[in-house]
Amino acid sequence: MASGSDCAAKELRHLSLEAVDEANTRKRKKDSCSRGAVNKRTRAGLQEKKVQMSVHTLCSAEGSISGFSRIETRSQRQLKALKEHTASNTLPERGKSASFTFSNYFIPVVKSVMPLPELDWADPKEVWAIMLQKDRKYCRDPLYFRRHSFLQPRMRAILLDWLTEVCEVYRLHRETYYLALDFVDRYLSIKHDIAKQRLQLVGTTALFIAAKIEEIYPPKLSEFAYVTDGACTENEILEEELLMLKGLNWNLSPLTVNSWLNIYLQLSCLASKNINTSNFNIPNYPQQQFVQVTQLLDLCILDVGSLQFSYSILAASAVSHMLPVNVEQATGHTWEELLPCIQWMKSFAQVTAEKGVATLRSFEQVLREDAHNIQTHAVDLASLDKAQALQSSYRSAATENRSTSPVIESFNPLTPPSSTKKPVVSSVLMIE
């Protein structure tokens, strides 16, 4: 009995020792795992701190594009780029660092020529940049007649000719007419398959909107419906007005051809007259010059080919045809930029010159100094037909000249004769 109890006691002690050893082993493993986790977290924290320090260094470096806290909106970047491009054309000195924005490379470069004088009421560089930005923003599709299977370019000319007559009857300003013209072209550029019966409604609605924007006392809605002779009702004009405003996205303030012409003529007077720049917005040019150039523009604008040129290019080309001024100095455009439009406008300028100088008309209840701003029906569709026929003859003559140009024979390089067939030349120099 004693020996059995001794054996049981020994086994119990052995088991207790094994349990204690196993507990100690688990404790050591747990301690080592906890120390490893602490070390791992410590290493991760140090690595994250190093990354943050490097990112902070990169973001604070000059010329970096990785600073997310300094990301600007698209409109802010465009305005900033326009100011930077128009401010100066000088490059930074070699050896000095310069800050660059990556998105600036995808913004159209603004022309460096800025013809505006120093103004005491605004920054001329900022004003010129906004003008150029508007000239790019309010663009028309020169091929928008492909969207409308029921319309023809001749219908557009008839519509504009009729709008000119309406403007003259109600003594509307030229700016009102050219605003309506811009609304019609941009509206047709985004629509599809406008019926020809609806084209007069589109033109009437555009003139109705432009008159409310530009005129102090615009004609009433009933008067616009009356001039259509029953073709358009008042409700149809109001419904079309909502559709047009929505289609144009309420972008109703373009810099029209008339506005560019006023600026160019004012700039052309700076070289010949001492004009106070504080009164730069007051016209100082002769009214007869303005009427003479607008006569050409009124004729050119009837042709659908005018859609391929911007408003600033059209106005500058008309000035170059009608007035003896330094076009590059007055407009900021180079001859290379104006040459395609000048050549296209050649036939229209010839027809305008044959028709004679336009006279300045007077209107009741219109001041004499404002008479040149009233839109008149100075050109007609017959003049347009004559100019287009002359333009076709110019194009045919240019094609014939290219076809009858001398043909240059193909060049075949001469093959030198073999050494056995070369003539024997004496190596002795004969001196007489």
Ramachandran quadrant class, 249 (left: phi over 0; alpha: psi -120 to 50; beta: rest): left
Can you give 64-105 as a three-state secondary structure string? CCCCHHHCCCHHHHHHHHHHHHHHCCCCCCCCCCCCCCHHHH
Greatest CA separation found in the chain?
Answer: 156
From first CA to last CA, the distance across the chain in angstroms is 156
Supply the Cα-derived Rg of the chain in whole angstroms. Answer: 39
Predicted pLDDT at 263: 92
Per residue in 75-121, pLDDT (tens digit) is: 555 556 555 654 544 433 433 333 333 333 333 334 557 788 887 77
Task: Quick: pLDDT tens for 165-221.
Answer: 999 999 999 999 999 999 999 999 999 999 999 999 999 999 999 999 999 999 999
- Residue 192's alpha-carbon distances to 151, 188, 307, 380, 395, in angstroms, are 10, 7, 18, 29, 31
**HSE value, Cβ hemisphere, 13 Å, CA-based, for 310:** 19
Residue type, 184: V
**Segment 129-175, tens digit of pLDDT:** 899 889 888 989 999 999 999 999 999 999 999 999 999 999 999 99
Residue 24 one-letter amino acid: N
Percent above pLDDT 70 for the chain: 65
Helices and strands, counts by H and E, the chain: 15, 0
Find the mean pLDDT for residues 120-127.
84
Residues 387 and 385: their CA atoms lie apart, in Å, by 5
- Asked if 173 and 215 touch (Cβ cutoff 8 Å), the reply is yes
